[in-house]
Every structure is written in C-alpha cells, then in structure tokens.
Structure 1
Amino acid sequence: MFAVLTPMRKALRPAVAVLAAAWLAACDATMIPSVGGRAGGPKIDPSKPIRVALLVPKSDAGAGPVAQALENATRLAISELNGAKIELKVYDTAGNSSTAAAQAQRAVDEGAKVILGPLFGEAANAAGLAVADEGINVLSFSNNPSIAGGNVFVLGPTFANTAQRLMRFAKRQGKDSVVIVHSNDVPGQFGKGAIEQAATSAGIQVLSSEGYTLSVEGVSTAAQAAGRVVQQAGAESVFITTDATNAAMPMLLNMLPDSGANPTTTQYIGLTRWDVRPDLFDLPGAEGAWFTLPNKAQQEAFNNRYASAYSTAPHPLAGLAYDGIAAIGALASQGRGDALTGKALTRSTGFNGVSGVFRLMSDGTNQRGLAVATVRNKQVVILDPAPTSFGGAGF
C-alpha cells in the first residue's frame, strides 16, 4: 500500500470539459488537450520501490475484462523487471472521466509518482488535468493523439505512426500519388488527416479524398469516385482507412476493383491490420495489398508468457500496460533519479516492448517499429521487417 500523504487538497479545481466521440479499440476521443511541462516529473530514489498507480475501469461492465487484462500484464511486467522495483496500487475509474480525475488525485495524495492508464481517452485527459500542477506524468492506454501533450502520453498505436511507415515505404517503391478512401466518422477523419500528413512528408501527392457513410450506396459512391481518380488522374495507390473488422471493408475490396482501381496495377494500402480478417483475402482487392504488423516474434513471446501466467490469452490491449512498466523499469534500472520525467521518458533510443521497439515523443504521442506486410496467395507475407532500433530503416 502507498503511504498516505497529507498535503492540502486543492480547494478549487477547474472543471474538465470533454467532447467524447467513438474511437478505436476502447479508446474514445476528446478534444481538450492536457497541460503541464513536457520535461517535468518527480525526482525519485531509484534504489527504492517506485510507486505506480494503475487506473483501469474495473467496475465498468463493458470494459471490466480489458481492465483485468491490463492489470495482469502490469503485474507480469513487474515480475520480469531486472534492477528496478515497482510498488503498484490499482484504482478503479469505473470508465468515467470524473471518477478517473478523482482517483488520479487520490493516487498522488497516496504517494504515486507516475500514473499508468486510464483506458479511455476522455478519462486519461481528465486524470492528466487533475495532477498536472503536481508534475505527475500519465502514461495512458489511449491511442487518441488529441489528448496527448503536457503531462499525458498515449501508449496506443497511432494512425500517424502507421501512415508514416506505409507512405515512406510506398515512396521507396516508386509510388508518387494516392487517393484516400475514408469513413465519414471520427476515426475516418483522424485516419485521413494522418495519411495526408504522411504523404506530404514522404513526397507523395494526395489526388483525392473520398469519404463515405456506412451504407451500400455510400460505400459504392466513394468507390466509384476513387476509381475515377485512378483512371483519369493516374493515382498509383488507394489508401483505405477502414478497420478490417468494419462491414464496409469487404464492400470496398469488391467495389473498388469494379470501379476502375485494378489491384494488379493500383497499390491497395490499409491503415489497420488486415491479418485479423483472413476471410478478406478471398476478395479481389486484398491480393498484394500492404498493411503493417508489429514484431510478431516478440508479440507471440509475450502472449505465451501471459498465457502461462494466467491460463488465458491476453486481450490485444494488454501489452500496452506491459510497455508502460517496461519504460519505467528501463529508466529506473539505470539508477536515474529523473526516470519519471518527461525528458527521460522521451529518450531518443526508446524502449523494447511487447510488440517491438517504441518510444514516447515530445508531443505525447508515440512511435513504434512496424513491419510492412502483404497478401500473397491468401497468405500474409512480410515485405519489410519491423526495425529493431531507432534511426535506421523503417523510420
């Protein structure tokens, strides 16, 4: 248990206003950035246990299983640390932003030096605001870049990171133009923006962006518009933001080829992992498409260790909790008194996590080493392996 501190509780605290929207993998969107100094953070004595607060929605009926998996992964990571000791206390956010803010403040009052979580973007934003004036950093499980910054980092994989990897790879393969096909919702807009920025950075021209509403007519209209751009403007690639599990994906992979985007001459690119839907590989637009994967060998090794410890497979988000502890432990094991500061957490060499190398960026987002994969004869084939360090190929 943490020792209970007795500082004067804040008499007044600004209200936390949030605008919530649907987002990816149990991570919602909020447009209120957190505040605080990027280089800030508490000093610690690395020879003593580091007090870490884990904020997860244990009592949220919908997210409770995810919360348990995150806690399991956190404890597994702690057990595997070499040269660093963590004293963990778990706080229930109930999946609620106001509860998350209160629990974050309680955790700091009880001695927490860093916060791991919460799960939802809105809750992470609230937690960050609650403890920003005390210089406590929050390593959230969200993948929403709109909440990143100040004292809040997002550990979840971001669209920007994936889009940059794929656009740079595309440029090296001689692709100079792209048409974007995206859903007209929050994830689709975030994805579209990430691809546009990545294309500009890579020197690839965005010839058109075609949005759709989720209906047969909406998807068909967008596919036909994208096909016209391929035929008339010579777009060399089609970048699809749609999640592979979305009902629109099979429609797009059928309709785009029928609309003039011939997959034998037009490169299809996916912003999300297509390997989670092997049934898609039978569709016309899937053969030869590009998408990214994490370091599969490392991911499978973690999955096996987790299953051995808990007799069940980990939730796909569980590794984020492991990564947070891995980063803290790597810095503390070096005997760094500044291990929990923004300056230390954003070291350029990054860390080794569940799915490969990753690093936290100065803007609160993250960068992860990703492999580029394709579909050949209905099988996933790696075209460009995930990098094992920063500064080389793949970044």
Structure 2
Amino acid sequence: MSALTLPAPRFKRIVGAALFGLAALAGCTPTTSSGSLGSILQTTPSTPQPGEIPMSGPVRVALLVPTGSGDAERDALGSALENAARLALADRPNSSIELSVLSTGGDPGQAADAAASAVALDADIIVGPLFSSSVAAVAPIAQQAGIPVLSFSNNSAVAGDNVYILGRSFGTSARRLMSFAASRGLRNTGLIYTQDTEGQAALDAVRQAAGETGSQLVATASYPRSREGIPAAAEFFTNEMIRNGVDNLLLSDRGTGLVYAASFLPFHGLNVDRTQVMGLQELTEGAMASERALAGAWYTVVDPSSSATFSNRYSARYGARPHPLASLAYDGIAATDTLIAEARSSRDARAFDARNLTRSAGFTGAEGAFRFRADGGTDRALAIMEVTRDGPKLVDPAPGTLGFSGL
C-alpha cells in the first residue's frame, strides 16, 4: 500500500466557525464606512462550509480498507479494494479527488481511529470501511463531522443517517427477484429462512420488498441451520408454503445448507414444477444443479458483461484477478467523482448531500448501474439467472439503467 501523505489542512470546518464569530462581531460594528468589516466580509471569497466541497482544487476522499491486521487474507482484500479505487481514478484522468488510504485492520477500534484521521485530514467523504462492526464504529465520528460514508458493507442494519452501503444486500436481490416474478404473474411469495442474524435480515428485506413490488408475503417459516435442525423443521416449513398457496418461494440460505433444506420440499409434497423457487444468494455451487428442487431456480448476479470487462481491466493493470468485493471500491470512487463534477458544473457546493447521493439516475459502476436509497441501501441493476444441469442460464439481463423501482 502506498505511503500516506498528509496534505495541508484546508480548515474549512474551523474557518466556518471563525467566520461565524466575525459575523457576530460585524453585527455590532458600524457598516457605513467603505473600510468596515461588513464590506470586507461581503467581498472575501467564500470558504467551503461543513458539508460543502471547494469549487476548485482537490476534494479529499478517505478510503478505509481492512489492511494492517497481519491477516494475509484481509490484507489482500484491502489491497484489492485500494487497487480498484485507483483504477477508478485512472479511468478519470481529470478527477480532482485527492485520495488518502487509511488502514482499519478490520477492527472497529482501528476503524474509529481511521475515521478520526479522516476528519483531521479534512476529508469531504469517506469510502469504506468493509465490515459492519467497523462501519458502526465509524458512523458517529463521521456524522459529528458532517461527512457522508459510502461503506463496503452489505448489512442494512448499519445503513442510514448519512451512511450508505455499497454491498449487495438481501434487499437488493429480493426487490429484483420479486419484481420479476410479479411481472410473470407470481405474486404470492413465501420465504424460508435460517434462524440466525442472516435469516432475520432476509426476513426484514423480503417484507419491505413485498410492499415495493406489489407482491404479497403470504407465508414464512424458518429452521435452525444444522444437520439435525433442517430435517426436524422441514415438514412444517414445506406445509406452510403449500397451505398458503405460495407460487414463488424465496430461500435465504446458501451452500450445503440450502441444498439440504431444498431437498425436503418435494419430499414433503411441494410441487416444485409449479412453484418458482428463488435464491436470495447466488446458486452457483455444483451440487445445486443436480438437486431436483433447485432445477429452474432463479437467482441474481451483477451484469455478466460489465463484470467481465472490469475483471479483465483489473487483471491487465495489476496482474491478478480482482477479489469479488473489489468492485465496490471502484463504485464508491466513481460515484464520488460523478457528484464532484456535477456539483462544480452546477455551482452547487453540497455535492454529497442526501439529495445528490440518492439521485434517481444513479451511477455507472464497475459491474453495472447502481443507486443509493434514502434508507442508505443500494439498488443495483442485476441480471436474473436460472439453475440448469448445463450451467447457469440467463433469464433476464441486467437493465442498463435503473427505473423508478430501482430494478
């Protein structure tokens, strides 16, 4: 990782407070004289206030990555995030972004220290960190300083109050799948989820997506994610789906747990040929293609063409394939640079306020279009794939732009 260079402080937040004091003094000072303090204040070039960017010169961006822990895997991931961020800058040779890379070690305490450093550097926006615990540690520090956070997390629990998540959450996939199912006349949705934090997040996401897509969540059931827990709950969760007339069924689990749970659906009487099974997580493992209950199941992926292009360009520059999460850093920098350019074009210094961050047009990222939501979540232009014995089959391509529903 490149060495961190401390730029000369712009002091915009301190200067803002100082000018407030001068303005108060001006209220007690005669202003009829041409040399009065009032005249000076009116003619002095404006200084960016908290939440504003300068209309020329560098805009300071703090990139928080999980390096510095001594863990080789985390360090490699952090380096990949930095590489992708620098690739985004290389794609924008006229960018005014001044990037400061700060290590979090994947630790909440170190992440808080990094956020404090970002404030000291007078950063205008923070891109990162990755882990939700680190995001939670960074958030109050950034909020107090009026700095928005574009985190790499996919945990919607840490989103909101000027914190946005770039990661693909259950909500992103649920909205895309349920909207597409509804377009096919499948509106009676069921959800089978795991009895853990991940499963609860899936339940919350599907409940919200139902209201946004015109679907009805008519049945839910859960199971402990264990070899004993799944078969013990299988008859009940299958019967709940049958009894409530589910015509499309979401599964929140992944990997072997998903395959094992799905195998009990036809065993206990669910007609999987007449019920559209859908996975909230990618159904790409080999065993899934041979599981009868998952034949024809739908799941979401980022735009395959855009993803391949990004991967090839990253590999050409850095000599290795990108980590699956690296594109999030590219997206964070791409969105930031777009907002800076538009703010300067329109002379609107509040480039990173909620209105601009959540603009309906969204942004063009490494793997397709995306948009921040008012709740801090993210809509992404996702493709829908189908599980077949011959491999994944494209059912519906990723849209090139985001519609009003974000799909």
Aligning the two structures, in what range does the TM-score lie when normalised by the shorter sequence? Answer: 0.7 to 0.9
Change (3 A) 1:92 1:393: closer
Q: Which residue of 1 aligns with 2:59?
A: 50
AA aligned opposite 2:263: N
Q: Which residue of 1 aligns with 2:84?
A: 73
Q: Secondary structure at the match of 2:294?
A: coil
Q: Is the CA contact (8 Å cut-off) linking 2:136 and 2:158 kept in structure 1?
A: yes
Q: Secondary structure at the match of 1:52?
A: strand
1:103-182 alignment to 2 at 5 Å?
103-182=114-193
Instruction: Give me the whole-angstrom Cα distance separating, in 2, the residues matched to 1:136 and 1:393.
Output: 28
Q: Is the CA contact (8 Å cut-off) linking 2:115 and 2:141 kept in structure 1?
A: yes
Q: Which residue of 1 aligns with 2:7?
A: 3
Instruction: Give me the whole-angstrom Cα distance separating, in 2, the residues matched to 1:4 and 1:330.
Output: 25
**1:322-373: CA deviation from partner (whole Å, max 9, x where unpaired):** 0000001112233253323333222111100011100112221111111122
Q: Which residue of 2 aligns with 1:279?
A: 287
Q: Which residue of 2 aligns with 1:342?
A: 354
AA aligned opposite 1:116: V
Q: Is the CA contact (8 Å cut-off) linking 2:65 and 2:130 kept in structure 1?
A: yes
Instruction: Give me the whole-angstrom Cα distance separating, in 2, the residues matched to 1:380 and 1:156.
Output: 23
AA aligned opposite 1:217: E
Instruction: Give me the whole-angstrom Cα distance separating, in 1, the residues matched to 2:277 and 2:121.
Output: 52
Instruction: Give me the whole-angstrom Cα distance separating, in 2, the residues matched to 1:204 and 1:252.
Output: 24
Instruction: Give me the whole-angstrom Cα distance separating, in 1, the residues matched to 2:74 and 2:299.
Output: 28
Deviation at residue 46 of structure 1 after TM alignment: 4.6
Q: Which residue of 2 aligns with 1:90?
A: 101
Q: Secondary structure at the match of 2:277?
A: strand
Equivalent of 1:369, from 356, 378, 381?
381
Q: Is the CA contact (8 Å cut-off) linking 1:115 and 1:137 kept in structure 2?
A: yes
Q: Secondary structure at the match of 2:150?
A: strand
Q: Which residue of 1 aligns with 2:336?
A: 328
* Larger helix share, 1 or 2: 2
The higher-RCO structure (CA 8 Å, 6+ apart) is 1
Equivalent of 2:368, from 327, 337, 356?
356
Q: Could you tell me the percent identity over the aligned residues?
A: 36
Q: Which residue of 1 aligns with 2:399?
A: 387
Instruction: Give me the whole-angstrom Cα distance separating, in 2, the residues matched to 1:138 and 1:205.
Output: 34
Q: Is the CA contact (8 Å cut-off) linking 1:199 and 1:206 kept in structure 2?
A: yes
- Which structure is larger by alpha-carbon Rg, 1 or 2? 2
AA aligned opposite 2:336: I
Q: Secondary structure at the match of 2:232?
A: helix
5+ unaligned residues in a row in structure 1: which ranges?
Answer: 9-39
Q: Which residue of 2 aligns with 1:264?
A: 273
Q: Which residue of 1 aligns with 2:323?
A: 315
TM-score normalised according to structure 1 size: 0.86
Instruction: Give me the whole-angstrom Cα distance separating, in 2, the residues matched to 1:361 and 1:200.
Output: 15
Q: Secondary structure at the match of 1:239?
A: strand
Q: Which moved more, 1:184-193 or 1:362-371?
A: 362-371
Q: Is the CA contact (8 Å cut-off) linking 2:60 and 2:122 kept in structure 1?
A: yes
Deviation at residue 220 of structure 1 after TM alignment: 1.6
Instruction: Give me the whole-angstrom Cα distance separating, in 2, the residues matched to 1:271 and 1:264.
Output: 19
Deviation at residue 91 of structure 1 after TM alignment: 1.0
**1:215-270: CA deviation from partner (whole Å, max 9, x where unpaired):** 22311233322322344433222210012x3x311212322221212221221111
The alignment's C-alpha RMSD in Å is 2.1
Q: Secondary structure at the match of 2:222?
A: strand
Q: Which residue of 1 aligns with 2:38?
A: none
Instruction: Give me the whole-angstrom Cα distance separating, in 1, the residues matched to 2:233 and 2:333.
Output: 43
Q: Secondary structure at the match of 1:69?
A: helix
Q: Which residue of 1 aligns with 2:17?
A: none
Aligned residues: 361
Deviation at residue 59 of structure 1 after TM alignment: 1.6
Instruction: Give me the whole-angstrom Cα distance separating, in 2, the residues matched to 1:331 and 1:227.
Output: 48
Q: Which moved more, 1:199-208 or 1:372-381?
A: 199-208
Deviation at residue 313 of structure 1 after TM alignment: 0.8
Equivalent of 1:183, from 175, 194, 207?
194
**1:142-196: CA deviation from partner (whole Å, max 9, x where unpaired):** 1111111112111111211211111111112122323211110101111012112
Q: Is the CA contact (8 Å cut-off) linking 1:230 and 1:260 kept in structure 2?
A: no
5+ unaligned residues in a row in structure 2: which ranges?
Answer: 15-48
Deviation at residue 96 of structure 1 after TM alignment: 1.7
Change (3 A) 1:340 1:202: closer
Q: Which moved more, 1:74-83 or 1:182-191?
A: 74-83
Equivalent of 2:217, from 201, 206, 212?
206
Q: Is the CA contact (8 Å cut-off) linking 1:373 and 1:384 kept in structure 2?
A: yes
Change (3 A) 1:229 1:327: same
AA aligned opposite 1:300: A
1:211-222 alignment to 2 at 5 Å?
211-222=222-233
